[in-house]
Amino acid sequence: MTSAMDNRQAHGPLVLSIDAMGSDRGPATIVAGLSAFARKHRDVRFLLHGPEAELRPLVDKHKGLPAQVEIRDASGVVSMEDKPSHVMRNGQDTSMWSTVDAVRNREATVAVSCGNTGALMLLSMVRLRKLPGVNRPAIAVLWPSRNPQGYNVMLDVGADIRADADDLLKYAMMGASYARNGLNLERPRIGLLNVGTEEHKGRAELKAAHELIAANAEAGSFDYVGFVEGGDIPGKRCDVIVTDGFTGNIALKTGEGTASLINSLLREAFTYSPLSRLAALLALSSLKRLQARVDPRRKNGGVFLGLNGTVVKSHGAADATGVAAAVELAYDLAQSGFGDRLAARVASAAASADTEATADPAEATDTKKNGTGI
């Protein structure tokens, strides 16, 4: 088995692996988003996976892009309806498979795909394999919040429908790493999602996780704020919300659905009468400012954590702006060496758990001295 610490790219330009297929809007949108990002980062290179005959003209349309892109011909496409197990058995020729394998082969640091989440997760798990010490990988998202950084991290939002106490501890470690690298928080505050903040509430595995996460806060260089509630996901009590993938998925979609309903009602309210349409015109810049703060496209991308390699899952319906945001996220994570840092951190947690969850002050201090904690 490959050690996670060996999983570094050779020196040279930073390379990202991009799945051109699987978007609801087609490959032209992916290439447009890629080009928007590439214009600002001419030193980054891309492996772009999909049918070459289709992709070549799309890439050639964007000035400067061809020099940054190497197309990897792959004729198969994973559709949103394909069962993950079917893709795993028969998907060797697909662009998704090729995208993930470029990270597996260390040709690229981070993979980005808009495709079928279940298939992407299963492919990533099998091809990249789980990090030592991780039983269940997780999908983490950024969520608009009242915190100064504007976003909170929530995980798992759907990699697995179950999580035991040890999984939740690993999610806390991984979420803290992600918040440090993705949101620049030196010492993220972790909350464990529950139906109340009292210690006696909730399911048995949550009480066990509560103890375990508290005991590992020092080793993980995070602060543990204890149980938090649904209202704290967009709140400011903590920076990272830890939960199982069933609950996290439902919370994510409930939040998105509520935001979308309010958005529709806001539009309705502003087209109700001539006066309200005039008001809307005047309010345009205010409404745009609001939109920018809660626009999911600005922070598009769930990140698969706990594997030998980082995979960014972009929304299937993302437009070019959304794709560019997902690629930007992949770039940020690749540049900070996030994958290796996360692996080292989880390994230390695993070791720490092996010695009965005692904190290792030496490790924590060392991390602080470097000023580059994962």
**DSSP assignment string, 317-332:** T--HHHHHHHHHHHHH
Measured from the CB atom, the residue of 19 and 232 that comes closer to a second copy is 232
Measured from the CB atom, the residue of 257 and 361 that comes closer to a second copy is 257
Task: Give CA–CA dist 335/155, Å, rounded.
Answer: 22
List 27, 115, 144, 309, residue binding a second copy (CB under 8 A): 144
Measured from the CB atom, the residue of 155 and 346 that comes closer to a second copy is 155
Q: Hunting for tokens 């995979």 — which residue is that?
A: 311
Supply the minimum distance, in Å, between the C-beta of residue 157 and a second copy: 9
| Closest to 189 measured CA to CA, from 149, 147, 154, 240 | 240
Environment class of residue 235 by beta-carbon count within 10 Å: exposed (0-12), middle (13-18) or buried (19+)? Answer: middle
Supply the minimum distance, in Å, between the C-beta of residue 51 and a second copy: 28
124 touches 101 (CB < 8 A): no
* Adjacent-strand bridge partners of 19: 49
Supply the minimum distance, in Å, between the C-beta of residue 165 and a second copy: 16
- Grouping H, G, I as helix, E, B as strand and the rest as coil, residue 211 is helix
Which residues from 192-251 bind a second copy, rule CB under 8 A?
A: 193, 195, 201-203, 229-235, 243, 245-247, 249-251
Which residues from 55-94 bind a second copy, rule CB under 8 A?
A: none
In the chain, which ranges are continuous DSSP H helix? 27-40, 52-60, 84-90, 95-104, 117-128, 165-182, 204-215, 245-269, 274-294, 320-335, 338-354, 361-370
Which residues from 264-303 bind a second copy, rule CB under 8 A?
A: 264-266, 268-270, 272-273, 275-276, 278-280, 282-283, 285-287, 289-290, 293-294
Supply the minimum distance, in Å, between the C-beta of residue 115 and a second copy: 16
Task: Give CA–CA dist 12/366, Å, rounded.
Answer: 28
Measured from the CB atom, the residue of 115 and 133 that comes closer to a second copy is 115
Q: Which stretch binds a second copy (CB under 8 A): 214-222, 263-271, 330-338, 358-366?
A: 263-271
Backbone φ and ψ of 48, nearest 5°:
-110, 120
Q: Using only C-alpha atoms, what is the Rg of the chain?
A: 21
Structure tokens at 200: 């006696």
List 145, 221, 314, 367, residue binding a second copy (CB under 8 A): 145
Residues 147-186: x/- map of binding to a second copy (CB under 8 A)?
-----------x--xx------------------------
List 253, 354, 365, 372, residue binding a second copy (CB under 8 A): 253
258 is a contact residue toward a second copy (CB under 8 A): yes
The residue ranges that bind a second copy (CB under 8 A) are: 144-146, 158, 161-162, 193, 195, 201-203, 229-235, 243, 245-247, 249-262, 264-266, 268-270, 272-273, 275-276, 278-280, 282-283, 285-287, 289-290, 293-294
